[in-house]
Amino acid sequence: MFVSKFGSAPKFYVRAPGRVNLIGEHIDYCGYAVLPMAIEQDILIAVEPVKTQVVQLANTNSSYLDFSTSANNIEINKTKPLWHNYFLCGLKGIQEHFGLNNPTGMNCLLDGTIPPSSGLSSSSALVCCAGLVTVRANGKTLSKVELAEICSKSERYIGTEGGGMDQSISFLAEEGTAKLIEFSPLRATDVRLPSGAAFVIANSCVEMNKAATSHYNIRVMECRLATKLLSKSKGLDWKKMLKLQDVQVKLGVSLEEMLTIVEEVFHPEPYSTEEICKYLGISLEEFRTQILSQNTQDVSTFKLYQRAKHVYGEAARVLEFKKICDEAPANAIQLLGELMNQSHISCKEMYECSCPELDRLVDICLQFGAIGSRLTGAGWGGCTVSMVPTDKLNNFLKNVEKAYYQTNVQSSALENNSLFATKPGRGALVFVEA
């Protein structure tokens, strides 16, 4: 297809994987560690650098239209997040990092196997792949950590205020191991998953595009607000505090103590804009310009108690999950399953990022033998991840297929790629023909 499209052969190929997050949802942007693994599904780009400064993009999937732009005049359209904008995020991030005045043009053909808008990080795989393509095409080198940090920042050009989990695992993943990803400074530690259990991804077949909706940014903003109010209540310099983790670090207390502080400081009823302005001693104008982001200007109620409870509780569950994997007690699978189930309940009830289809799918997975099951990724649609004893895997897959996919017309159309067991895969790579 590359040859028929561009009339010449590609010079190199880059792939970047999607990921499944095993536990630690919506806490990366609060500063807390998460526990994902890369999946086999990826974005693959065939590339030919060219002498002109034109970047031409094509896709093996004809629903993603061709696009071309000058490499030194990149405009990213946040209001309409078409696929090429994600490529441009990676391109722009790398160009800015190196201050490239004369960036090379290139012909690129993209092929993707990650179900889009389903919580498996197709968007970040695309941004990371484009970033690595740009590094290679311009004859530069970067470490994996640098690549992850640049791509985490540059995906924000699309308008979502992500925390960096997806880009980090896409670069730092290694075959055979999940990773604990910690931030500031970014680092990844191996997590050996228990033998005797398989991790199964099941797609609810409800798509949710992060950049085209405001769900995601509203949660980021609610967490930022909770940070400010908690800081003010404890006499900290609230204007400087950005993330819920900052409050814990400044107070020097445990996550359990933070949960008690949340109970003392916040009321469960939603906060109004007026109440928050009064609490912080700021005007409505300051609130709109300094606290709210572009696509959260119309929000007028904020559930600070619930969001903070989820974040501190989920952060503790991640550390507990890692500890159980490290210590591998006889009942490890049972203990890990309980943590996954608690995580889903917290996402559903406190963070309100689930949806009826995801809840139904989790119930079905638990009914047919999963020890733990939860939504994975941003939520409001997308996939679940379930931990299933290996000896029950075949029956589990058969029964879930029957119960969820064969009873739903829309889902059964997508069935083939919707339910599969997965293993920790490798991170992003450049392939060059010898």
116 counts as binding ligand ADP under rule CB under 6 A: yes
- Torsion-angle region of 7 (φ positive above 0: left; ψ -120 to 50: alpha; else: beta): left
Binding site for ligand NG1 (CB under 6 A): 21, 25-26, 28-29, 119, 121, 123-124, 155, 160, 162-163, 165-166, 210, 377-378
376 counts as binding ligand ADP under rule CB under 6 A: no
Give the CA distances from residue 215 to residues 23, 125, 210, in Å, rounded to whole numbers and listed in that order: 20, 21, 7
- Contacting residue, 56, 95, 107, 117, with ligand ADP by CB under 6 A: 117
Determine the interface stretch with ligand ADP among 90-98, 114-122, 137-145, 294-302 (rule: CB under 6 A).
Answer: 114-122
Nearest residue relative to ligand ADP (C-beta): 112
Return the number of the residue (210 or 348) whose C-beta is nearest ligand ADP.
210
Whether residue 321 contacts residue 35, with contact meaning beta carbons closer than 8 Å, is answered with: yes
Element (H, E) at 59: strand 54-59
Q: Name the binder of 165 from ligand NG1, ligand ADP, none, CB < 5-8 A by kind.
A: ligand NG1
Q: Could you give phi then psi for residue 58, rounded to 5 degrees? A: -135, 165
Q: How far is the CB of 59 from ligand ADP (least distance, A)?
A: 5
Q: What is the DSSP letter of 252?
A: T
Return the number of the residue (121 or 386) whose C-beta is nearest ligand ADP.
121
Q: Name the binder of 64 from ligand ADP, ligand NG1, none, CB < 5-8 A by kind.
A: ligand ADP
- Torsion-angle region of 275 (φ positive above 0: left; ψ -120 to 50: alpha; else: beta): alpha
Whether residue 158 contacts residue 76, with contact meaning beta carbons closer than 8 Å, is answered with: yes
Examine the residue annotation and report whether 298 is marked as an active-site residue of this protein: no
Element (H, E) at 414: helix 409-414
Q: Could you give phi then psi for residue 136, rounded to 5 degrees? A: -65, -45
Draw the binding track, 183-222, toward ligand ADP (x: CB under 6 A; -: no contact): --------------------------xx------------
Quick one: which of 126, 133, 172, 130 has its CA closest to 149? Answer: 172
Q: Name the binder of 112 from ligand ADP, ligand NG1, none, CB < 5-8 A by kind.
A: ligand ADP
Taking every pair of Cα atoms in the chain, the longest distance, rounded to a whole number of angstroms, is 67
User: β-strands 419-422, 271-272: how paired?
Assistant: unpaired
The residue annotated as part of the active site, out of 166, 190, 246, 391, is: 166
C-alpha of 178 from chain center = 15
Return the number of the residue (118 or 341) whose C-beta is nearest ligand ADP.
118
373 counts as binding ligand ADP under rule CB under 6 A: no
Residues that bind ligand ADP (CB under 6 A): 59, 61, 64, 83, 86, 110, 112, 114, 116-124, 126, 209-210, 377-378
The residues that are catalytic are: 166
